[in-house]
């Protein structure tokens, strides 16, 4: 008898169908593994940021300010820059901090590390598809160093100039002054790195992209691009001002078109299960989408006397 040495067409089609089914079953599993790995890396980033904030507080008796915009020829002791700039020496990036400190400008020293580069990897959120490399090109404005993490201004404060041009600390505090408890107060969290929705409620006259410029500390006319939440340049009179329950984070907002829904006043996560936060004690936890706005706000305030709800 002659032996058959080839598949029939039907057998080949069956094999192809089986392979296709197996691929269809494996792809979601592979995607879940990748998402879990990215979430773990983002958690580790926030843990390192929290540890750096503690080391800064040990050395300076205050938490790192969310931003500094106070340097001048007369008062050079503070160097302008975001919270990211201030913790650079505590995440093994002292050389990058020196680039800022050595900038010959009398103010805005952070510009030395703002353009045509990415920030250190610790400040890039791997769970955020809006920007994976830490550098964002905004048309004629140029290439900016961007981050997926933001500081909570209410808990960390800032340094600005008073009427005479002298540096003044606003709402800055040491860990012992977090009377609601460090384990109950958010210092850092996530915000989608790039949001193409415009205009935004807190910038109704501007059409263009929004993004967290990692070293940025322009707290006046362009404060919306600082990597900070809960800061308002004109206080309660600021356009789009929100407080309390209305500050609850967004989960998986649409960011990639002007008709999306990402709100750059708020923290936001590109995952569907909630958002990661770094607490005042340095711990990192996931906050579920089901948390209500009142509980979220209570976790934002360091000394409001609120009690976190059972949904926390």
| CB contact at 8 A, 201 and 215 | no
Give the separation between CA 299 and CA 217, rounded to whole angstroms: 24
Token reading at 124:
């890039």
Domain that holds residue 207: 10-300
Q: HSE of 32 in the Cβ direction (CA atoms, 13 Å)?
A: 6
Token reading at 20:
């296709």
Between 12 and 202, name the one with better pLDDT: 202
Give the separation between CA 88 and CA 68, rounded to whole angstroms: 14
Interval 29-56 mean pLDDT? 87
Residues 6+ apart with CB under 8 A from 103: 79, 109, 111, 112
pLDDT (tens digit per residue) in 44-64: 999 999 999 999 999 999 999
- State how far Cα 136 lies from the chain centre: 15
pLDDT at 235: 95
What confidence category does residue 3 fall into, taking pLDDT thresholds of 50, 70 and 90?
Answer: low
pLDDT at 5: 60
Q: Is residue 307 part of a domain?
A: no
Give the separation between CA 281 and CA 181, rounded to whole angstroms: 8
pLDDT (tens digit per residue) in 122-144: 999 999 999 989 999 998 889 99
What confidence category does residue 39 fall into, taking pLDDT thresholds of 50, 70 and 90?
Answer: confident
Q: Is residue 308 part of a domain?
A: no
Name the β-bridge partners of 143.
137
Count of domains in the chain?
1
Give the separation between CA 61 and CA 177, rounded to whole angstroms: 11
29 pLDDT more than 70: no
Q: Is residue 285 part of a domain?
A: yes
Q: Please, what is the Cα angle at 86 between 285 and 74, to 5 degrees?
A: 150
The candidate with the shortest Cα–Cα distance to 146, out of 36, 264, 260, 243, is: 264
Q: Is-cis flag, bond preceding 199, omega within 30?
A: yes
| Cα dihedral across residues 268, 269, 270, 272: positive or negative | negative
pLDDT (tens digit per residue) in 177-203: 999 999 999 999 999 999 999 999 999
pLDDT at 256: 95
pLDDT at 274: 94
Token reading at 255:
């960011």
2 pLDDT more than 60: no
pLDDT (tens digit per residue) in 201-232: 999 999 999 999 999 999 998 999 999 999 99
Interval 277-286 mean pLDDT? 97
Q: Is residue 149 part of a domain?
A: yes
Q: Is residue 312 part of a domain?
A: no
Q: Is residue 292 part of a domain?
A: yes
| CB contact at 8 A, 267 and 148 | no
Q: Is residue 310 part of a domain?
A: no
pLDDT at 23: 78
- Cβ-defined contacts of 94-100 (< 8 Å, 24+): 96/120, 100/215
Q: Is residue 161 part of a domain?
A: yes
């Amino acid at each position: 008898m002659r032996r058959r040495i080839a598949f029939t067409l039907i057998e080949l089609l069956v094999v192809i169908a089986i392979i296709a089914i197996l691929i269809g079953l494996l792809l979601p599993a592979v995607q879940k593994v990748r998402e879990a790995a990215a979430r773990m890396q983002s958690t580790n980033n926030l843990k390192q940021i929290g540890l750096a904030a503690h080391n800064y507080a040990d050395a300076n008796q205050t938490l790192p300010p969310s931003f500094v915009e106070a340097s001048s020829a007369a008062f050079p002791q503070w160097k302008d820059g975001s919270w990211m700039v201030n913790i650079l020496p505590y995440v093994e990036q002292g050389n990058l901090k020196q680039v800022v400190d050595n900038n010959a400008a009398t103010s805005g020293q952070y510009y030395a590390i703002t353009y045509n580069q990415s920030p250190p990897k610790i400040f890039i959120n791997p769970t955020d598809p809006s920007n994976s490399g830490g550098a964002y090109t905004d048309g004629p404005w140029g290439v900016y160093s961007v981050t997926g993490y933001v500081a909570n201004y209410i808990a960390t404060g800032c340094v600005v100039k008073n009427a005479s041009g002298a540096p003044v600390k606003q709402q800055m505090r040491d860990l012992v002054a977090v009377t609601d408890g460090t384990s109950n107060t958010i210092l850092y969290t996530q915000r989608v790195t790039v949001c193409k929705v415009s205009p935004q409620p807190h910038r109704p006259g501007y059409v263009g992209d929004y993004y967290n410029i990692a070293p940025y500390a322009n707290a006046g006319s362009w404060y919306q691009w600082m990597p900070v939440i809960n800061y308002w340049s004109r206080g309660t009179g600021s356009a789009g001002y929100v407080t309390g329950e209305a500050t609850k984070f967004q989960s998986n907002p649409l960011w990639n078109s002007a008709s999306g829904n990402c709100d750059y006043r708020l923290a936001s996560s590109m995952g569907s299960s909630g958002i990661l936060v770094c607490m005042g004690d340095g711990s990192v936890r996931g906050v579920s989408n089901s948390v209500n706005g009142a509980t979220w706000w209570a976790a934002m305030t360091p000394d409001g006397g609120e009690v976190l709800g059972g949904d926390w």
